Amino acid sequence: MKFFAAVLLFIILISFVSKKNIIAPKLTAPPETVQLKDSLYIDKLEVTNAMWRSFTESWLLEKEEDTATYKKMQPDSAVWYSLKFDYENYVKSYATSPTFSDYPVVGITYEQAIAFCEWRTERVNEYLEKIRDAKFRSVIYRLPTEAEWELAATGKLDIVKFPYGYERIKVATKYDTAKMFNCRYKDIDSARNTEQLLVAPSNSGTPNLYGIYNIIGNVGEMVSEKGLSKGGFYELAVENCKVKEKFSYKKPNRYLGFRCVCVVDNTSAFKKPKEVIKQTKQPKAEKKSKQKKGVKGFEQQEDSTIANPK
């Protein structure tokens, strides 16, 4: 099941729409998102390589012929050199091969993620401006605040009782016990003699009660405060991947991706796409952290995790 196929088709088609007041399928919510509260929605999945290429290749390179920006928006493939095995394949193919289309985009900066959010906002608002009877009038895509991300990650559960946002962290199978999240489980990985843990497709695993996939484990997710990420990552011990855990980052790495939140406006008159972008800024973070206690650094954490698996 390719969850972002609908989103990709939607974005690519609307990019070339020119006729006003077209008749189109009515949108009741932003594509492939779930509602958190009121006008706030969040992506079901981490943004994938396929979606990133729809931004860079389909739009910047093919439609806009903006080779300079296209080059600036390329993920840093060098982040894969730290893999123990098969790093050549990931360096060469991860961002470009159809094999990895449904995997989360990594190796990008905070600024590149913001640029994607702004592009996505423009494209969807161009479409909404042209269709009749849209349920919502305009949208803003951006990175979630830490509080918004935690709301999504709690999965409608009591975070004190269920610190991962799930009722359980393992699943009993016919023959053994399986992981609920794509991260390091000391008992399971030791029994399987796992030598290297790897990133998984964005649509893999079991969603939480909101219907959100891989918000715990797989790749860490940027929030609106630059340098802060949430959710743990695929080589981190599961004990450190709880909803309240936070991590710092300084540069692109193979553990870090993002997902968008979407704020819909169904009351105001249509805004020109550029006006929406101009009026929109990433929300101020709840608290600026200067390497506070409890904030682990990605570089520091990845070294200790690889060297001393828990």
- The 3-state secondary structure of 198-233 reads CCCCCCCCCCCCCCCCCCCECCEEECCCCCEEECCC
Question: Is residue 303 domain-resident?
Answer: yes
105 within domain boundaries = yes
Residue 270 has pLDDT above 50, yes or no: no
**Residue numbers of the domain that contains 237:** 29-307
> What is residue 86's predicted lDDT score, i.e. its pLDDT?
96
What integer pLDDT is reported at residue 16 of this predicted model?
Answer: 43
Do 117 and 260 contact (CB within 8 A), yes or no? yes
Pair type for strands 261-265 and 40-43: antiparallel
pLDDT at 139 (0 to 100):
96
Answer yes or no: is 19 within a domain: no
Asked whether the predicted pLDDT for residue 304 surpasses 50, the reply is no
Does residue 116 surpass a pLDDT of 70? yes
* DSSP one-letter code for 131: B
pLDDT of residue 241 exceeding 70: yes
Band of pLDDT at residue 15, cut at 50, 70 and 90: very low
Residue 39: is its pLDDT beyond 50?
yes
The answer to whether position 23 is within a domain reads no
The pTM score is 0.85
Question: Residue 176 falls within a domain, yes or no?
Answer: yes
CB 94 within 8 A of CB 84: no
Q: Is the pLDDT of residue 24 over 60?
A: no
- Residue 305 in this model has a pLDDT that exceeds 50: no
pLDDT score at 275:
54
pLDDT at 87: 97
User: Residue 289: is its pLDDT beyond 50?
Assistant: no
Per-residue confidence at 296, pLDDT binned at 50, 70, 90? confident
Please check whether residue 200 lies inside any domain of the structure. Answer: yes
Query: What pLDDT score was predicted for residue 104?
Result: 99
Q: What is the mean pLDDT of the chain?
A: 86
**Which pLDDT score, from 0 to 100, does residue 303 have?**
46
In a domain, 9, yes or no: no
Over residues 234-255, mean pLDDT = 98
Structural domain total, the chain: 1
Nearby residues of 247 by Cβ (< 8 Å), 6 or more positions away: 220, 228, 229, 230, 232, 233, 295, 296, 297, 298, 301
CATH number at residue 129: 3.90.1580
Rounded CA-CA distance 249/108 in Å is 11
Asked if the structure places residue 272 within a domain, the reply is yes
pLDDT over 70 at 107, yes or no: yes
Strands (E), the chain: 33-37, 40-43, 138-142, 170-172, 177-179, 220-222, 228-230, 246-248, 256-257, 261-265, 295-297
